[in-house]
Amino acid sequence: MLECGPEIVALKLGEEGSCIYTREEKLKVPSFPVNEIDPTGAGDCFDAAFIAGLLKGWSIKRVAKFANAVGALAVTKRGPMEGAPYLREVEKMVGLGQAR
């Protein structure tokens, strides 16, 4: 897929985490264990978090870990928007402290 032009390919694997591919590296990033209630919207939350991390200039590994946490928290509530977490919830799960 990278041969078709994108610089980054993120493959979401649900409870298995994610795989991130760039021209320089391949990462398998584990998921966070949560009690899944409803997966609706989790992929959108992952995507938004991934893009936000890239825009902040974070490393690919940090971006993927952050996006995995956001996606994981998103499935803990019923509904497509209700599970979208607050930043402090994600920071607590990931152990990032204040996101920079």
**pLDDT tens figures, 55-89:** 999 999 999 999 999 999 999 999 888 888 888 89
Closest CA relative to residue 83, chosen from 75, 93, 91: 75
Closest CA relative to residue 50, chosen from 24, 18, 4: 18
Catalytic site includes residue 44:
yes
So what's the pLDDT on residue 96?
58
CATH: 3.40.1190.20, 3.30.70.890, 3.40.1000.10, 1.10.3720.10. Which one for 2-94? 3.40.1190.20
**pLDDT tens figures, 14-31:** 889 999 999 999 999 999
Q: Are the C-beta atoms of 64 and 50 separated by less than 8 Å? A: yes
Q: How far is CA 63 from CA 35, 53, 59, 60, in A?
A: 23, 5, 6, 5
pTM of whole model > 0.75? Answer: yes
Catalytic residue among 15, 44, 89, 91: 44
